């Protein structure tokens, strides 16, 4: 049986992950697999985050609105053609059309992944498991140009990014993502709880 894509990324920690994380990360590389999680989120921006929101919208990066109790659906997709892992996020803010943004996560070897948005901007991160939660730790930002990933020092503008996912039970987990600037503090964050509702792997 083919191992999930993230079994390699988590390495020796894969077997230690709780059942909900095995469901969450069940997709296999080079297979047409889909996992769906439904949740409710809080989205917050600082003054700097609101200034950056037009950039978020144009680049297909993050969410340009704020709110609490926001229903959200995340689809995790792999395809037979390659080893990429696509996240399709849909946020349903009141009185607005659903806001959808997609990103593609590409393994870089070991526990490292780059998450790319549609314009080629990427967040290079390292996955880990500390025995209680999954951590996504900032390495750098990159831009894909002419087939190469070039490091871009955008930490001065938007700060660094960190995310984590904490198991709740065998089907549910809590998550949060935070952008934090060295000098200006909180820039942008979203958090919420999700239930895995579909696994086709």
pLDDT at 1: 63
DSSP letter assigned to residue 22:
H
105: buried, middle or exposed (CB in 10 Å: 19+, 13-18, 0-12)?
Answer: buried
pTM of the model: 0.91
Under 8 Å between Cβ of 163 and 177: yes
Q: Is the per-residue pLDDT at 60 higher than 80?
A: no
Which has the closest alpha carbon to 80: 32, 121, 116, 149?
32
Under 8 Å between Cβ of 49 and 187: yes
Q: Which of 56-60, 99-103, 108-112 has the lowest mean pLDDT?
A: 56-60
Q: If you average pLDDT over every residue of the chain, what do you get?
A: 92
DSSP letter assigned to residue 108:
E
What is the Cα–Cα distance from 152 to 139, expressed in whole angstroms? 11
Helix (H, G, I), strand (E, B) or coil at 103: strand
What is the Cα–Cα distance from 143 to 151, expressed in whole angstroms? 6
pLDDT tens string 182-191:
988 999 999 9
pLDDT at 147: 82
Parallel/antiparallel/unpaired status of strands 33-45 and 67-78: antiparallel
| Residue 73 confidence class, pLDDT cut points 50, 70, 90 | very high
Under 8 Å between Cβ of 37 and 197: yes
């Amino acid at each position: 049986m083919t191992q999930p894509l993230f079994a390699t990324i988590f390495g020796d920690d894969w077997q230690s992950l709780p059942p909900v994380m095995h469901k969450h990360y069940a997709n296999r590389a080079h297979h047409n697999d889909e996992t769906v999680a439904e949740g409710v989120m809080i989205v917050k921006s600082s003054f700097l985050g609101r200034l950056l929101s037009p950039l978020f919208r144009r680049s297909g990066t993050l969410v340009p609105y704020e709110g609490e109790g926001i229903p959200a659906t995340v689809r995790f997709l792999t395809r037979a053609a390659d080893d990429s892992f696509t996240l399709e996020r849909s946020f349903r803010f009141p009185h607005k059309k659903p806001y959808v943004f997609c990103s593609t996560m590409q393994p870089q070897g070991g526990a490292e992944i780059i998450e790319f948005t549609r314009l080629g901007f990427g967040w290079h991160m390292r996955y880990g498991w500390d025995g209680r939660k999954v951590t996504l730790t900032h390495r750098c930002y990159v831009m894909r140009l002419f087939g190469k990933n070039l490091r871009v020092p955008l930490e001065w503008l938007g700060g660094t990014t960190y995310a984590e996912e904490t198991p709740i039970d065998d089907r549910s987990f809590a998550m949060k993502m935070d952008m934090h600037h060295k000098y200006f503090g909180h820039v942008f964050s979203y958090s919420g709880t999700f239930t895995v509702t579909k696994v086709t792997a």
